[in-house]
Structure 1
Amino acid sequence: MHKNRSSSKGKEALTPSSSPRTPTPSNIICWWCVPKFGPPAVELFSEGEEVTLRCRDWRKGRGHGWFIKSNRTEGRIFSVESDQRMSRVSWYDNGSLVISNISVGDTGEYWCVVFDNDYQCESTERTVLVYMEPFGIYSTFFKVRCSVLSVLLLILVYTGFNTAWYTLALKQGMGHIHAEKTFKLEHKRQKQQTEIMGRKT
């Protein structure tokens, strides 16, 4: 991996991939289109896995190149050269980039640039690699824990609702019983008064 600096414009000119084609000075023009077009794709990974990034816009008859801006590059953008003997990164002519035994240091942004036979940029794609912590929000443990908590919450809500309904029903039932007793007592009192009045007459 290497890069060239352009002193005339104060920008970084990235050295293009040599792929099956021989790099020429006109290739450098293509790499000025590396800006981030559109929302990036997000790829989650765990340490030790093998991750394959694909250049979806690539097709036969078109060239392509890959650029990396990861924790390992300390915020700088590097081009991936196909003729380099990189131990963990492999670049294939079908538009894919394979990273073996991936680690936290590989977290970052990966660009695929597609260009035509005149080395004019046709499209760029950006993929963001995100490290999936064992107990982080993307982990299986976190998802299972959230599912369990959701079930427990539903149980608590259901239990609370049933308890409130039972309490209300009980209160209503007790009120009905009290009203019935009051009615009977009042009826008995009126009956007794009627009997007393009858005796007096």
Structure 2
Amino acid sequence: MTRTRPLLVAGLLVALTAIIAALVYALPKASSSGASALATLHRDPRHDALGEADGAVPDGVTVFDYTVPAVARLDPDLLKALRRAATAAADDGVAIHVNSGWRSAAYQDQLLREAVARYGSAQEAARWVATAATSPHVSGEAVDVGPADATAWLSAHGAAYGLCRIYRNEPWHYELRAHANDRGCPPPYADPTQDPRMQQ
């Protein structure tokens, strides 16, 4: 009996130590990348300090929502082309929603920081998010659309309106290419890191 008790206590201590270690391991690390990753998981840009006025887009926004800055501050020619395309898409039963459009430089910087935390490096993040200095979203010259039937519709018909998919890894990202209705869209880059505009 006296030999069993120390073994039982030792076993309980080992089990308790293992449980505590597992809990500590599951907690976010104190490193800046861990803290950023945790912040990213809990951040909703629509409720952030950098919100709609900086380009965050509420759900269900279309190219006809004049009061949403992400739409209203798009390049006028791009917006005109998008509205023409959206009208034609609606005739085919497809609604083109804006998931992202114009963004402030501060909002673009925030998205880039979040991408670095998510993807683990600036090099990998650059495949998805440009700097504020190079992003066509900051200049109002790019729009990210959805849902999937809208991106499929634009892929098939966008060139007729001068709207071209720019990156193969981003089927939602469209920009205006004025001569696309005559010459077709240029071949898309694999991702933004292949775009010469991003090398500035």
Q: TM > 0.5 between the two?
A: no
Say which one has the larger Rg: 1
TM-score (norm 1): 0.22
Q: Which has the higher strand share?
A: 1
Greater length-normalized contact order (CA 8 Å, ≥ 6 residues apart): 1
Q: Counting helix residues as a fraction of each chain, which structure ranks higher?
A: 2
